[in-house]
């Protein structure tokens, strides 16, 4: 029988049982409007569903009954016993048809015209005869009137089964209807069963372990072997059976999607085809309920943000009809669901800009991220890629909610996207929430369980300094933070022993195991002392007094009877500072992430060592990327070290003057004048005209954010001066010096916005900046872009230049300045005749939306964060291009 029909029958039977009780209640208490509207609703539902299923006969009867009920509800008809009797007849007739329907799967043939006529007469207000017509029903069924009183006693909450038994008079006993095949059982009953079975599984495991560990001296145990095996078998079967009662095909969560997609396609004016594969993949009811909404949301997203309009698709050479495909399948005890679209893919550039604007990451952090990591920003709170909020999605409930929902059920979500080709989201969820597979590990002498779903791989490594020259991975330390080189990437590590403040054991210092876990986009290695087996465990909540320890998601009893805590990888990630973060978070990134909240006036500086033990610093904002380059990758060209970097040669300038040939790897700070966004993975941009230079240093130490107070020395080449950073005297290096070492024409490039802006020579820029340090950094930056720069230390000096008749093409001004601040300065500029039309760009340490608004009101053309070199150049270019365009 059709699934829909089965559902209908189950539902209708319940409705009918409720109807009987309600009608009788109404008869006793005619004024009860609540009951009347309940009856009306029930009949209406039946009618509506029949119409949908094409059950014509049933629909007609229900319709006639509904008419009468409607009149009763609207008080157009008095409620009399006769009326109720006739409605009851109609309901009996419905029951009759439903019974036949569940037996045969089709409506029985028959004639209900008399009953319908009676009902219609009643609804017209004619006094109706008590209809005897029903007996004309084709089957000599049970006498309806007799059956009715019996049914009245059936309480509404009874499942349909007993009602069926009442109907089954001796003569019709043979057609025990089809609804006996499905019964509705309370979910709590199933949950209880599941819990009990889980306990049974545990006890079974315990027994098995016990017999295995006992040595069988006198053959006593042999007698237990066979019954134990049987017990084991039955338990497994029982577990499977009970699990099955909770399993539903994932198609149940999908059945609303075709309609949704159709409506979306119309609303968005796109052509969308929805492909669903693996709809019969079964998963736990509870899990299914929990992923329903996230799935719907994701399909909505794919249709709205993912797929392009037909026109855009045609233009991109794609078929007009976009495809969204859902694919569900089992893999290793988990269910994988893929939601793929062949749309535009995620625009990395836009995500970066958004992440910057929303303060989710700094430019420097973005520079060290891979494309995939940047794409994962869309799953961060407060992020929506859609440029405009449409009525379909982008109502503020974003992918972060989806991610949270999925993580709540122990699942993970990842995405792959190729710009122009589409996006694939992959959701990995456990089959069931009750029993999970977990890896048992040991740290600090205690055992813990880690849910298998978050474990990516296990790596055996040596601790730093231990074990001599044996090969294999080694745990290295950066400022006492352990990291591991894993396939050319740095994996942040966290020691479970220290995280849980367990006593250090001897084992901690020799070979260690690293459990590589992936939580969302975060990869984190957890250092443990030993790794045991994997075990199926039943997650039990921890005692209330322990709930505050976020490192644990629960506890369980192992096969050997011991209690073990279950680690929550999410909690661990949060506790170790990786949490909420996306992407592979190195110590550098973690450090800068912490420092990101720093207030105005503070600047992120990269600390490193080169040619001596004293730390050196360079503003992080100037660095495009940090690279770790193998010795073998270094070549020499005309005596100068170079390396092939992203398909072109990059000159390497050793900070210490000469390249130390003995090192295996070199830490390199990459500086670039690539215009399409420094240090992005945008290869195209680099190939077009970007140049880069690598500064070779001995060691990258840290990223700190501090208020800088640079004391300028000015007499040593390559140094701007020194400052106290992280409590230590630190040399602040002058990047422009090293840039000219790599390319002596670095600052004389012809192809730059400054020279492009005005045909009659380089654009003149006035820089108003009170900090000498910033002036020293800004001037070479702008000069390198081809501008002619004049820098002054105060607004007053700038205004004096105006009065002296100086002309500029644009002004850059700091906001926070003594005496006359930037806001007052720009008001003054706007008030003065000659400079009043100049673009004035505000430089600030902190870009807050309110501040930008305030600045714009005062007359600033644009707002740029200090050290956003790229943003500054882009803004200048734009500001200068506009008047030029007007003139042309």
Partner 1 sequence: MSQALAERPAANDTANDEKVFVTLTVADQLCGVPALSVRDILGEQIITRIPMAPREVAGSLNLRGRIVTAVDLRRRLNLPDAPPGTPRMSVVAEQGGELYALLVDQVSEVISLPASAFERNPPTLPPPWSEYSAGIFRLQNKLLVVLDTARLLALAPVE
Closer of 565 and 876 to partner 1 (Cβ): 565
Degrees, nearest 5: CA angle 693-695-701 = 140
CB of 472 to partner 1, least distance (A): 29
194 touches partner 1 (CB under 8 A): no
25 binds partner 1 (CB under 8 A): no
The residue from 563, 687, 729, 824 that contacts partner 1 (CB under 8 A) is 563
Please, which residues bridge with residue 515 across strands? 458, 526
Site string for partner 1, 645-684 (x = CB under 8 A): ----------------------------------------
> Three-class SS of residue 122?
helix
Q: Is 483 helix (H, G, I), strand (E, B) or coil?
A: strand
Residue 530 engages partner 1 in binding (rule: CB under 8 A) = no
Q: How far is the CB of 500 from partner 1 (least distance, A)?
A: 4
Closest CA to 21 of 88, 68, 112: 88
149 binds partner 1 (CB under 8 A): no
Q: Residue 324: what are its φ and ψ, rounded to 5°?
A: -115, 125
Q: Which of 212, 230, 256, 547 binds partner 1 (CB under 8 A)?
A: 547
- 562 is a contact residue toward partner 1 (CB under 8 A): yes
Alpha-carbon dihedral sign for residues 553, 555, 559, 560 = positive
Shortest Å distance, C-beta 616 to partner 1: 40
Taking CB under 8 A as the binding criterion, the range among 199-207, 402-410, 762-770, 870-878 that sits at the site for partner 1 is 199-207
Q: How far is the CB of 564 from partner 1 (least distance, A)?
A: 6
Cβ neighbors of 51 (< 8 A, separation 6 or more) are 59
Rounded distance between C-alpha atoms, residue 275 and residue 634, angstroms:
50
Among 174, 226, 388, 543, the residue binding partner 1 under the rule CB under 8 A is 543
- Residue 275 binding partner 1, by CB under 8 A: no
564 binds partner 1 (CB under 8 A): yes
Give me the least distance between CB of 193 and partner 1, in Å please.
16
Of 173-181, 305-313, 421-429, 537-545: span binding partner 1 (CB under 8 A): 537-545
How far apart CA 46 and CA 13 sit, in angstroms, is: 10
Under rule CB under 8 A, residue 393 binds partner 1: no
Q: How far is the CB of 733 from partner 1 (least distance, A)?
A: 44
* Candidates 65-73, 103-111, 551-559, 751-759; binding stretch for partner 1 (CB under 8 A): 551-559
Shortest Å, Cβ 542 to partner 1 = 8
Cβ-based nearer residue to partner 1, 549 or 729: 549
| Least gap, CB of 41 to partner 1 (angstroms) | 39
DSSP symbol at 131: P
Q: Which helix (H) or strand (E) holds 706?
A: strand 699-707
| Least spacing, CB of residue 233 vs partner 1, in Å | 21
Are 353 and 360 a contacting pair, CB within 8 Å? no
Q: How many residues of this chain bind partner 1 (CB under 8 A)?
A: 27
Q: From the centroid of its chain, how far is CA 414?
A: 8
Q: How far apart are CA 364 and CA 378, in angstroms?
A: 19
Give, for 190, the enclosing helix (H) or strand (E): helix 187-213
Please tell me whether residue 501 binds partner 1 under the rule CB under 8 A.
yes
By CB under 8 A, tell whether 849 contacts partner 1: no
For every residue of 535-597, DSSP letters joined together read EEEE-BPPPGGGTT-TTEEEEEE-TTS-EEEEE-HHHHHHHTT-TT--S---HHHHHHHHHTT
Q: Residue 269, class by beta-carbon neighbours within 10 Å (0-12 exposed, 13-18 middle, 19+ buried)?
A: exposed
Residue 206 structure tokens? 């315990």
Backbone angles phi, psi at 712, to 5 degrees: -85, 135
Applying CB under 8 A, does 202 fall inside the site for partner 1?
yes
Closest Cα partner for 80 from 38, 34, 122, 21?
Answer: 122
Which of 205, 301 has the CB closer to partner 1?
205
Establish if 569 lies at the interface with partner 1 (CB under 8 A): no
Q: Which is nearer to partner 1, 419 or 446 (CB)?
A: 446
**Which whole-number Å values give the CA distances from 615 to 375, 609, 723, in the listed order?**
35, 5, 10
Using rule CB under 8 A, residue 551 touches partner 1: yes
Structure tokens at 858: 């005062």
Question: Shortest gap between Cβ of 324 and partner 1 (angstroms)?
Answer: 42
From the CB of 559, what's the least distance to partner 1, in Å? 11
The stretch among 16-24, 68-76, 471-479, 546-554 that binds partner 1 (CB under 8 A) is: 546-554
Query: What's the min distance (Å) between Cβ of 198 and partner 1?
Result: 10
CB 100 within 8 A of CB 139: yes
By CB under 8 A, tell whether 557 contacts partner 1.
Answer: yes
- What are the residues facing 557 on neighbouring strands? 563
For residue 549, state whether it binds partner 1 (rule: CB under 8 A).
Answer: yes
Point out which span in 10-18, 416-424, 557-565, 813-821 binds partner 1 (CB under 8 A): 557-565
Determine the Cα–Cα distance for residues 345 and 348; give it in Å rounded to an integer.
9
561 binds partner 1 (CB under 8 A): yes
Select the residue interacting with partner 1 from 111, 199, 660, 857 (CB under 8 A). Answer: 199
Q: Does 532 bind partner 1 (CB under 8 A)?
A: no
Q: Which residue of 555, 680, 784, 877 would you call a contact of partner 1, by CB under 8 A? A: 555
> Could you tell me the CA-to-CA distances from 55 to 41, 47, 104, 108, 389 in Å, in that order?
19, 9, 13, 10, 43
The least distance separating partner 1 from the CB of residue 539, rounded to whole angstroms, comes to: 11
Q: Footprint of partner 1 on residues 230-269 (CB under 8 A)?
A: none
Q: How far apart are CA 434 and CA 449, in angstroms?
A: 15
Residue from 544, 639, 717, 760 touching partner 1 (CB under 8 A): that is: 544
CB of 499 to partner 1, least distance (A): 8
Using the rule CB under 8 A, give the single segment among 82-90, 498-506, 775-783, 879-887 that binds partner 1: 498-506
Contact 310, 265 (CB under 8 A): no
Q: How far is the CB of 556 from partner 1 (least distance, A)?
A: 8
Which of 540-548, 772-780, 795-803, 873-881 is the region at the interface with partner 1 (rule: CB under 8 A)? 540-548
Distance between CA 577 and CA 249 in Å, rounded?
Answer: 39
Radius of gyration of the chain (CA): 37
Residue 192 makes contact with partner 1 by CB under 8 A: no
Which residues neighbour 744 within 8 Å (Cβ) at sequence distance 6 or greater? none
| Phi, psi dihedral angles at 221 (to 5 degrees) | -70, -25
Q: Which is nearer to partner 1, 550 or 637 (CB)?
A: 550
CB of 383 to partner 1, least distance (A): 29
Q: How far apart are CA 483 and CA 625, in angstroms?
A: 19
CA distance 426 to 412: 8
Contacts of the segment 156-159: beta carbons below 8 A, 24+ positions apart: 156/17, 156/18, 156/21, 156/22, 158/17, 159/14, 159/183, 159/184
Residue 32 or 536 having the CB closest to partner 1: 536
- Min separation Cβ 831 and partner 1, Å: 58
Structure tokens at 262: 């159709």
Report in angstroms how near the CB of residue 545 gets to partner 1 at its nearest. Answer: 4
Task: State yes or no: residue 613 binds partner 1 (CB under 8 A).
Answer: no
Q: What part of residues 415-474 is at the interface with partner 1 (CB under 8 A)?
A: 444, 446-447
Q: Which of 203, 310, 321, 676 binds partner 1 (CB under 8 A)?
A: 203
Q: Helices 772-784 and 869-887 meet at what angle, rounded to 10?
A: 60
**Site for partner 1, rule CB under 8 A:** 199, 202-203, 444, 446-447, 500-502, 540, 543-549, 551-552, 555-557, 561-565
């Amino acid at each position: 029988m059709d699934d829909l029909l089965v559902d209908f029958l189950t539902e209708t039977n319940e409705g009918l049982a409720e109807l009987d009780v309600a009608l009788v209640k109404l008869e006793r208490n005619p004024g009860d409007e609540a009951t009347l509207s309940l009856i009306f609703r029930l009949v209406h539902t039946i009618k509506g569903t029949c119409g949908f299923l094409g059950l014509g006969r049933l629909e007609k009867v229900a319709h006639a009954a509904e008419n009468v009920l409607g009149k009763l509800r609207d008080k157009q008809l008095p409620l009399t016993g006769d009326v109720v009797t006739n409605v009851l007849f109609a309901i009996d007739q419905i029951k009759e048809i439903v019974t036949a329907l569940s037996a045969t799967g089709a409506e029985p043939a028959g004639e209900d015209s008399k009953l319908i006529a009676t009902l219609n007469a009643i609804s017209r207000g004619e006094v109706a005869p008590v209809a005897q017509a029903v007996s004309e029903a084709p089957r000599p069924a049970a006498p309806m009137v007799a059956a009715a009183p019996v049914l009245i006693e059936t309480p509404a909450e009874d499942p349909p089964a007993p009602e069926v038994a009442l109907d089954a008079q001796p003569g019709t006993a043979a057609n025990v209807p089809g609804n006996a095949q499905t019964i509705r059982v309370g979910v709590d009953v199933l949950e209880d069963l599941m819990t009990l079975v889980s306990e049974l599984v545990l006890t079974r495991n315990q027994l098995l372990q016990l017999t295995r560990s006992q040595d069988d001296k006198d053959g006593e145990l042999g007698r237990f072997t066979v019954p134990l095996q049987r017990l084991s078998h039955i338990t497994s079967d029982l577990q499977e059976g009970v699990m099955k009662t909770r399993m539903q095909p994932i198609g149940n969560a999908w059945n609303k999607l075709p309609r949704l997609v159709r409506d979306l396609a119309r609303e968005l004016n796109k052509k969308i085809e929805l492909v669903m594969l693996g709809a019969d993949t079964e998963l736990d009811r509870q899990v299914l309920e929990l992923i329903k909404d996230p799935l719907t949301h994701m399909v909505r997203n794919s249709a709205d943000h993912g797929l392009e309009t037909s026109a855009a698709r045609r233009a991109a050479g794609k078929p007009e009809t976009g495809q969204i495909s859902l694919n569900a399948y089992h893999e290793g005890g988990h269910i994988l669901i893929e939601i793929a679209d062949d749309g535009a893919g995620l625009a990395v550039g836009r995500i970066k800009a958004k992440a910057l604007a929303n303060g989710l990451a700094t430019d420097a952090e973005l520079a060290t991220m891979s494309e995939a990591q940047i794409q994962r920003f869309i799953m961060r709170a407060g992020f929506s890629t859609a440029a405009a909020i449409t009525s379909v999605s982008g109502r503020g409930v974003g992918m972060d909610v989806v991610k949270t929902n999925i993580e709540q059920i122990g699942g993970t979500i990842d995405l792959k996207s190729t710009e122009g080709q589409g996006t694939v989201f992959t959701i990995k969820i456990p089959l069931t929430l009750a029993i999970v597979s977990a890896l048992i590990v040991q740290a600090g002498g205690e055992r813990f369980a880690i849910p298998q779903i978050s474990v990516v791989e296990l790596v055996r490594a040596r601790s730093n300094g231990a074990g001599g020259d044996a090969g294999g991975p080694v745990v290295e330390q950066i400022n006492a933070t352990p990291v591991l080189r894993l396939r050319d990437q740095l994996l942040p590590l966290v020691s479970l022993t220290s995280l849980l403040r367990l006593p250090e054991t001897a084992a901690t210092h020799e070979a260690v195991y690293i459990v590589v876990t992936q939580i969302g986009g975060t990869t984190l290695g957890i250092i443990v002392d030993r790794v045991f087996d994997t075990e199926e465990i039943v997650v039990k909540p921890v005692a209330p007094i322990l709930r505050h320890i976020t490192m644990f998601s629960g506890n369980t009893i192992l096969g050997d009877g011991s209690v073990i805590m279950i680690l929550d990888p999410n909690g661990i990630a949060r506790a170790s500072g990786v949490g909420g973060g996306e992407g592979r978070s190195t110590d550098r990134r973690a450090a800068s992430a912490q420092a990101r909240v720093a207030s105005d006036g503070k600047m992120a500086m990269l600390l490193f060592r080169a040619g001596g033990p004293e730390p050196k610093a360079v503003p992080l904002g100037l660095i495009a990327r940090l690279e770790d380059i193998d010795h073998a990758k270094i070549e020499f060209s005309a005596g100068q070290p170079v390396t092939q970097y992203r398909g072109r040669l990059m000159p390497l300038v050793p900070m210490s003057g000469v390249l130390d040939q003995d090192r295996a790897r070199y830490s390199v700070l990459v500086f670039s004048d690539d215009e399409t966004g420094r240090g992005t993975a945008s290869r195209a941009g680099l190939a077009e005209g970007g140049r880069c230079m690598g500064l070779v240093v001995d060691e990258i130490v840290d990223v700190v954010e501090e208020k800088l107070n640079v004391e300028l020395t000015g007499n040593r080449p390559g140094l701007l001066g020194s400052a106290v950073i992280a409590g230590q005297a630190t040399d602040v290096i002058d990047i422009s010096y090293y840039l000219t070492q790599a390319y002596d024409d670095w600052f004389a490039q012809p192809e730059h916005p400054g020279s492009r802006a005005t045909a009659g020579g380089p654009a003149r820029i006035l820089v108003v900046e009170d900090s000498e340090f910033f002036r020293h950094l800004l001037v070479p930056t702008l000069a390198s872009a081809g501008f002619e720069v004049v820098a002054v230390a105060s607004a007053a000096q700038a205004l004096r230049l105006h009065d002296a008749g100086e002309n500029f093409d644009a002004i850059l001004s700091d906001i926070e300045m003594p005496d006359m601040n930037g806001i007052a300065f720009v008001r003054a500029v706007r008030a003065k005749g000659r400079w009043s039309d100049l673009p004035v760009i505000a430089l600030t340490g902190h870009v807050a939306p309110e501040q930008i608004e305030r600045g714009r009101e005062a007359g600033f053309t644009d707002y740029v964060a200090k050290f956003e070199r790229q943003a500054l150049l882009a803004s200048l270019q734009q500001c200068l291009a506009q008047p030029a365009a007007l003139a042309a």
